[in-house]
Amino acid sequence: MLELQDFSCGYGGTAAVESLNCTFAAGALTALLGPNGAGKTSTLMAVMGHVAPMGGRILFEGRDITNRPPVDRSKIGIAVVPEGRQLFGDLTVEENLIVGGYSLPVAAARAEQEQVYSLFPRLAERRAQISGSLSGGEQQMLAIGRALMAKPKLLLIDELSLGLMPKMVDVCIEALTRVRQNGLTIVLVEQNTSRALSIADHVYVLASGRCVMHGSSAEVKDNTEIFEAYVGIH
Amino acid sequence: MMRRIVFLTAMLSACAVTSAPADIIIGMHAPLTGFAAVDGKSARIATEIAIGKINAAGGLLGQKVQLQVFDDQGQGAQAVTIANKIVSDNAAILVIADSYSEPTRAAASIFQAAKMPYISAVASHPDITKVGNYVFRGSQLGEVQGGSTAVHIAKALKKSKVSIVTVDNDYGSSLLNGFKAAMGAQGVTLVGEYSFTMAERQFGSVVAGLRRDNADVIYIGGYWFQGGPLVSQIRAAGITTPIISSGLAAQQFIKIAGPAAEGVMIVDATGDDNANPEYPAFRAALRAQEAEANVFFSEIAHTAVDIAANAIRRAGSTDREKIRDALASTKDLRTMYGTLASYTSGREIIQRMPLSIVKDGKFAASGEMEIWLPAP
Amino acid sequence: MYYVDLLISGVAFGCLYAMATMGLTLVYGLLRILHIAHAALFTLGAFVGVWVFNASGSLIVGLIVAILAAVVMGCLIYRLIYESILSQPPYVPLLASLGVLIFLQDGFRIVFGEEGLTVRHNPFYMANFTIGAFSINVIYIVMAGGALISMAVLAFFANYSRHGIAWRATVSRPLLAANFGVNVIQVRYAAFAAGSALAAIAGVLVALMNNLVEPHSGELISYKGLAIIVLGGLGNMQGAFIASLVLGIAESFGIGLAGRYVDRDAIAAVALIATLMIFPNGIGRART
């Protein structure tokens, strides 16, 4: 589905990610783990087109998208749940969803909206509320719902659990599990390592912008020595 | 930027001119750029026409007359720079100010100190001529216009309640002072008093006040670019009170106010009915140069040259003191603006004051006004 | 009656200011640029509108051509001036904008002449609407009506159409909006176009009222426009509309009651200071 080949990127000439090689299989949930500053968010933002590539390629469904402008990525099927939610705070819940489905035809977007409301009934109750006034959990639901509105093939999630009550994290994970049944590919950046390991199919561990280990969730869990050295079990 | 370029060009051409010592040099400053550029253009072209006529007829004292034109932008600071330049060049034998009161006032004392005869063609602030015996007026004082208007309202129009709207500058305040000084003795009372800034074009609040005042006559003192919108807005509000005005004798006023201008009386203007036999040719020359926007300004600019040329001829010399004395003894001189009977001891003109009225899109002569003079 | 008259003129001008300065709010919201050259689009609209009206005899044709001219010029200013300096500190685009304003004003001087243009057959000349002892200039009604209608259209678009919602999302988070397929560049052009069109309409209306358009006519809204967007809470459309009305009314009463001592722009400055003392973030909520 998504492949990074010898990929480097960064800000203002300073590399945040160097020579990264990752493959994200279709239908899988792949976790990117690692300490702060490891380059996880930079990797996601590069896939969204917001971080300047400095070498290598990004392939999506076999096509090179390394230098395509951000505005195209929604159309080809990539959506993001950014770090800190980043809702359109002045807009209502429903308006946020409308923007999420902006690249779909109107009828398709409307159908998708009903799907999101059935996935998160709480959002349906609050559809006319200004999104900036939602609780943290509701905001995360909306951020996920907004991304799903684009009917993506690939969903990038940056810090699902950050700042949320455990119960809200459960709700979100359960929703993700449901949408995965339709074959959605997910890349998850997560600080809460044990949570991530419990749901991920495959794991990449990054440190200082490089991939230090990868493998199936089970393999990584078994290789505790290296894993703890870089990440630390929480 | 434009202003600077025009100014530099004026400076350069002035420098080039000074190298011809055989000519008689007359200096002039006017607002060629800035808010009053239309007026400056009207004055400059009229002055050039007047001097062209003199040169075509053989010049003065057998010499050609050269004009040095400077752009004061209608600003005092610029006028001071220009005055210092003219004085230090020491080439001009006489200087004409075709400008507003602020720059003219600022420059007057410099010319007085240098004993260079200086004619304030159009600026009407009373302090200008008080600077000294080298400074002369070319047109009626603002106070005289204002006072005479009060007299006219009482005696000719037989009205008493007046609302007054004046521009917030030297000209406007001297009109207002003259009107107030004269009105008491005439039984005229002010029911409303308003002023507006140079840049103002929106008169909603003033119009609301005028409607409340319900005066017999509205007196407006300002310039065409304010008077046009103001008169339009007064009439558009359904106020039909007669309007008398000072300073609006510019064709551009009629163009802006259109039908609203009809019936507006203009103090101290003969307008299109000017009786000077040279007037039609003068207008044609202005028209040829597309400079008819403010004919009143042009007439007075021409008049200043008339006064200067007459004095230089009578002085028979380019000696500045002799020219000054000749100016002071000017008598019954036909100018483009009327007949200058003589100068007062304060170097103010003594001249009849015509009244015109806007009729069918033209300024029509409407008799003369009784002149009111401020107490000495 | 006097106070009613002052109120009417204040409301009419407030509406006009709102229409004339909406472009500043839209542009500030999207790009954080104090687009002071916007005032020149007001003048451009007025000149082109009056010129075409005089030549064609049709006010509608004049208005349409004025809008087109202002839209093209507004988009050109974005493309040629702002686009390349967006990443610079805010004073760079501000100075560039000021330069464009001066350049265009001198351009008008050269093209249309120093004395400006007058309307040959002004339909609003001496037109007033009278009920009993009460009379309003028709042009005031047109000004207020035109402003309210165009604002309502804009508000409807922004709140109820997909594209309008996407536009607001772009104001809120431009990078993220792009990730949902919103073409941020198109949104910018749309903002410049809409703001410039409104300025052109306002310019033509003021030209009809004064029966005069001068090279510096835009000064009516240039500095006042900055006061309005600060008062309205930088980039906030509803806030800017309320601020415009407040300013229009404050000016009308201020000049009516103290006009001998203060001028129009001084009232705007006083209103700005007074409001900021009470609401430090402006009347509307500032977008950050």
Chain A CB contacts of C176 below 8 Å? 80, 82, 86, 88
In the predicted model, what is the mean pLDDT of chain C? Answer: 89
Name the C residues in 112-171 with CB < 8 Å from any A CB: 162, 165-166, 168-169, 171
CA A71 to CA C210: how far, in whole Å?
47
The complex's ipTM?
A: 0.89
pLDDT single digits (tens) B289-305:
988 888 888 999 999 99
Average of pLDDT values for C228-255?
A: 86
CA C196 to CA C180: how far, in whole Å?
27
Q: Work out the pLDDT band at C234, boundaries 50, 70, 90.
A: confident
- C113: nearest CA partner in chain B: B38
Cβ–Cβ under 8 Å, residues B304 and B123 = no
Cβ–Cβ under 8 Å, residues C166 and A102 = yes
Q: Which of C17, C176, C27, C172 is nearest to C97 (CA)?
A: C27
CATH of B143-267+356-369, one of 3.30.450.20, 3.20.20.70, 3.40.1280.10, 3.40.50.2300: 3.40.50.2300
B89 to chain C, any CB pair closer than 8 A? The answer is: no
CA C254 to CA A157: how far, in whole Å?
56
CB contact under 8 A, C259 and B225: no
Cβ–Cβ under 8 Å, residues B97 and B104 = yes
Q: Which of A60, A70, A55, A76 is nearest to A9 (CA)?
A: A55
The first and second tokens of residue C226, run together, are: 């900055």
In the predicted model, what is the mean pLDDT of chain B? Answer: 90
Of the CA atoms within 13 Å of residue C286, those in its CB half-sphere come to: 13
Question: Is residue B13 predicted with pLDDT exceeding 70?
Answer: no
Our answer on whether A and B touch (3+ beta-carbon pairs < 8 Å) is no
Collapse the DSSP code of A21 into the 3-class scheme (helix H, G, I; strand E, B; otherwise coil) and give the result.
Answer: strand
The first and second tokens of residue B172, run together, are: 């406007």
Strands B338-343 and A2-11: unpaired
C4 to chain A, any CB pair closer than 8 A? The answer is: no
Question: Is residue C287 predicted with pLDDT exceeding 90?
Answer: no
Q: How far is A106 from chain C (nearest CA, A)?
A: 9
Collapse the DSSP code of A20 into the 3-class scheme (helix H, G, I; strand E, B; otherwise coil) and give the result.
Answer: strand
Q: What is the DSSP letter of C77?
A: I
Average of pLDDT values for C30-47?
A: 94
CATH class of B19-140+274-343: alpha beta
Q: Which of B376, B357, A7 is nearest to B368 (CA)?
A: B357
CA distance readout (Å), C166 to A30, C75, C177, C192, C234: 31, 20, 7, 16, 19
Q: How far is B3 from chain C (nearest CA, A)?
A: 10
- DSSP lists the bridge partners of residue B70 as B29
Cβ–Cβ under 8 Å, residues A71 and C181 = yes
Neighbors of chain B by Cβ distance (3+ pairs < 8 Å): C
Q: What is the DSSP letter of C287?
A: P
Collapse the DSSP code of A14 into the 3-class scheme (helix H, G, I; strand E, B; otherwise coil) and give the result.
Answer: strand
Quick one: CA torsion of A170, A172, A174, A177, rounded to 10 degrees?
Answer: -140
Domain residue ranges in chain C? 2-286
Average of pLDDT values for B11-20?
A: 46
Q: In chain C, which ranges are continuous DSSP H helix?
A: 2-31, 38-56, 59-76, 91-112, 138-160, 162-172, 174-179, 184-210, 219-231, 237-258, 264-278
Q: How far is C76 from chain A (nearest CA, A)?
A: 23
The yes/no answer on whether domain C2-286 falls in CATH 1.20.58 is no
Q: What is the DSSP letter of C81?
A: I
How high is the pLDDT of residue B3? 46
The first and second tokens of residue A161, run together, are: 């659990």
How high is the pLDDT of residue B311? 96
The secondary structure of chain B, three-state, reads CHHHHHHHHHHHHHHHHHCCCCCEEEEEEECCCCCCHHHHHHHHHHHHHHHHHHHHCCCECCECEEEEEEECCCCHHHHHHHHHHHHHHCCCCEEEECCCHHHHHHHHHHHHHCCCCEEECCCCCCHHHHCCCCEEECCCCHHHHHHHHHHHHHHCCCCCEEEEEEECCHHHHHHHHHHHHHHHHHCCEEEEEEEECCCCCCCHHHHHHHHHHCCCEEEEECCHHHHHHHHHHHHHCCCCCCEEEECCCCHHHHHHHHHHHCCCEEECCCHHHCCCCCHHHHHHHHHHCCCCCCHHHHHHHHHHHHHHHHHHHHHCCCCHHHHHHHHHCCEEEEECCEEEEEECCCCCEECCEEEEEEECCEEEEEEEECCCCCCC
Give me the residue from A86, A88, A103 closest to C181, CB to CB.
Answer: A103
Domain residue ranges in chain B? 19-140+274-343, 143-267+356-369
How high is the pLDDT of residue B16? 45
Q: List per-block mean pLDDT (blocks of 10 residues) for chain A, which spans 234 residues.
A: 91 86 92 87 91 91 90 90 92 96 93 95 94 92 95 93 89 91 92 86 90 86 75 56
Choice between B126 and C63, residue whose per-residue pLDDT is larger: C63
Average of pLDDT values for C134-160?
A: 89
Chain C CB contacts of B252 below 8 Å? 115, 118
Give me the residue from B1, B225, B259 closest to C125, CB to CB.
Answer: B259
How high is the pLDDT of residue A232? 60
How high is the pLDDT of residue B4? 45
Choice between C263 and C116, residue whose per-residue pLDDT is larger: C116
How high is the pLDDT of residue C284? 64
Give me the residue from C165, C175, C180 closest to A103, CB to CB.
Answer: C180
Q: How far is B163 from chain C (nearest CA, A)?
A: 14
pTM (2 d.p.): 0.85
> Tokens 């080039």 identify what position?
B16
Cβ–Cβ under 8 Å, residues C262 and C76 = no
Cβ–Cβ under 8 Å, residues B301 and B294 = no
Q: Give the helix/strand (H/E) hosting C130.
A: strand C128-131
Q: Work out the pLDDT band at B22, boundaries 50, 70, 90.
A: low
DSSP line for A84-114: T----TTSBHHHHHHHHTTTS-HHHHHHHHH
Strands B353-359 and B243-246: unpaired
Q: Which of B166, B123, B167 is nearest to B141 (CA)?
A: B123
CB contact under 8 A, B35 and C115: no
How high is the pLDDT of residue C55? 96
Cβ–Cβ under 8 Å, residues A1 and A156 = no
pLDDT single digits (tens) C85-100:
988 898 999 999 999 9
Residue B243 CA, distance from chain mean position: 20
Vertex B273, ends B267 and B278: CA angle to 5°?
115
- Tell me whether domains B19-140+274-343 and B143-267+356-369 share a fold: yes
- B42: nearest CA partner in chain C: C115
Cβ–Cβ under 8 Å, residues C136 and C8 = yes
Cβ–Cβ under 8 Å, residues B358 and B261 = yes
Of the CA atoms within 13 Å of residue C52, those in its CB half-sphere come to: 19
